[in-house]
Amino acid sequence: MKALLVISHGSRRDESNMEVQRLTDTVRPLVSERFGIVEAAFLELASPLIPDGISLCVSQGAKEILILPYFLAAGRHVAEDIPEIVAASQKRHPDVSMTIAPHLGGSELMAEFLAGSACLPQE
Amino acid sequence: MKALLVISHGSRRDESNMEVQRLTDTVRPLVSERFGIVEAAFLELASPLIPDGISLCVSQGAKEILILPYFLAAGRHVAEDIPEIVAASQKRHPDVSMTIAPHLGGSELMAEFLAGSACLPQE
């Protein structure tokens, strides 16, 4: 069973965290052929934190977890914090394959997405 | 003249800030029919800061500035900090129209974008 774990920063503002949870709920059926499990987790300030999100996937039977950093730029959180946290979880779940995908903002199509009508109000 | 100002958080990691600048450079020709000026600015930790980014647009002749929060979730930065900073700049440039667009993550198409091949590695 494959899992997709969407990692975002987390906010003191509940609405912000709920926004990411809603996004994850919307993504779930879109990727159901590839991922039997789709969950969200947070780097800080909100639950579940990344190790708990990983455990949540494992408890549902995940043998492979793709971790998607839902971040726009590869700052220290993406470059250092997330890999360190995932590496620590990997040690606790040595039989589960964990891969960190490129961060969302690294997509070659981001500029096009930003420029598109979805993001910029039309005249 | 209309300007598009892409606001991101800013990072202590230069590469992260350069990533946003490169994105802005890629967006510029894609929106050139609507925006004669396209610049990036940062909430903190990197230059130009938002007030300087706004001044940069004004110095190039911007009469209208669309401010796009390049953020995925509407945490305090999006909900409070950016509006406050823009409001202060608005007072310094009363003859320039400034509008804050919805943050990038608020796009209805984000889930589809995330689920698409651009972001998730294919089998």
Residue B108, pLDDT score = 86
Neighboring chain B residues of A75 at a CB cutoff of 8 Å: 9, 11-13, 16
Burial, B89: exposed, middle or buried (Cβ in 10 Å; 0-12, 13-18, 19+)?
Answer: buried
Average pLDDT value over all residues in chain A: 93
C-alpha closest to that of B69 among B60, B58, B80: B80
Neighboring chain B residues of A4 at a CB cutoff of 8 Å: 120
Does the pLDDT at position A122 exceed 70? no
Residue of A nearest to B99 (CA): A121
Residue A73, pLDDT score = 87
Residue A118, pLDDT score = 59
Q: Do A109 and B102 touch (CB under 8 A)?
A: no
Annotated catalytic residues of A are: 9
What's the N-to-C CA distance of chain A in angstroms? Answer: 46
Does the pLDDT at position B111 exceed 60? yes
Residue B42 belongs to what H/E stretch? strand B37-42
Whole-model pTM: value is 0.88
Residue B75, pLDDT score = 86
Annotated catalytic residues of B are: 9
pLDDT one-digit tens code per residue, B46-70? 999 999 999 999 999 999 999 999 9
Residue A46, both tokens? 């909100």
Residue of B nearest to A19 (CA): B73
Are β-strands B2-8 and B37-42 bridged in parallel, bridged antiparallel, or unpaired?
A: parallel
CB-based contacts of B64, cutoff 8 Å, min separation 6: B1, B2, B3, B96, B97, B98, B99
CA distance B6 to chain A (A): 10
For residue A123, the one-letter residue type is E
Residue B117, pLDDT score = 67
ipTM summary value: 0.89
Give the residue, A116 or A86, on which the prediction is more confident.
A86
pLDDT one-digit tens code per residue, A77-112? 999 999 999 999 999 999 999 999 999 998 889 999
Does the pLDDT at position B122 exceed 80? no
Q: Which of A15, A110, A118 sits opposite B74 (nearest CB)?
A: A15
Residue B13, both tokens? 């990691």
Residue A3, pLDDT score = 97
**For A63-85, what is the mean pLDDT?**
94
Q: Is the dihedral of CA A50, A73, A24, A13 positive or negative?
A: positive
